[in-house]
A and B are shown apart, each in its own frame.
Chain A
Amino acid sequence: MADTLLILGQRLAEWCGHGPAIEEDIALSNIALDYVGQATSLYREIAVQANEGKSEDDYAFLRDERAFKNILLSELPKGDYAFTIARQFLFSTWYYHFLEELEKGQDEFLRGFAAKSLKEVRYHFQHSRDWVLRMGDGTQESHQYIQTAFDEIWSYTGEMFKMSAADVLALEDQVGVNLPSLLSHWERIVSAVLTEATLQVPNSGWMHSGGKEGKHSEHFGFMLAEMQYLQRSFPNCQW
Chain B
Amino acid sequence: MVSEQEIWTFLTEVEDPEIPVLNVVEMGIVREVRKDENGGWQVVITPTYSGCPAMKAIEEDVLQCLADHQIEPIAVISQLSPPWTTDWMTAEAREKLRQTGIAPPEGSSADKGLLMGVRRDVRCPRCSSVQTTMVSQFGSTACKALYKCDQCLEPFDYFKCI
Describe B's contact surface by its main secondary structure.
Answer: loop
Given contacts A26-B139, A127-B138, contact A111 B50 (CB under 8 A): no
Q: Is the CB of A126 within 8 A of B51?
A: no
Say yes or no: is A112 at the interface (Cβ < 8 Å to chain B).
yes
Q: Is the CB of B138 within 8 A of A115?
A: no
Q: Is the CB of B51 within 8 A of A37?
A: yes
- Number of A residues with CB within 8 Å of any CB on chain B: 33
- Number of B residues with CB within 8 Å of any CB on chain A: 27
Most central of B52, B82, B117, B138 by chain A CB within 10 Å:
B138
Provide the residues of chain A in CB contact with B50, threshold 8 Å: 34, 37-38, 40-41, 116-117, 120
Q: How far is B47's CA from A191's CA once the two chains are assembled, in angstroms?
A: 35
Say yes or no: is B89 at the interface (Cβ < 8 Å to chain A).
no
Describe A's contact surface by its main secondary structure.
Answer: helix
Q: Is the CB of B138 within 8 A of A27?
A: yes
Q: Is the CB of B115 within 8 A of A125?
A: yes
Q: Is the CB of A36 within 8 A of B51?
A: yes
Provide the residues of chain A in CB contact with B137, threshold 8 Å: 27, 123, 126-127, 130
Provide the residues of chain B in CB contact with A123, threshold 8 Å: 137-138, 160, 162
Q: How far is B126's CA from A28's CA once the two chains are assembled, in angstroms?
A: 28
- Interface residues, chain A, with chain B CB atoms under 8 Å away: 23-24, 26-27, 30-38, 40-41, 96, 108-109, 111-113, 115-117, 119-120, 122-123, 125-127, 129-130
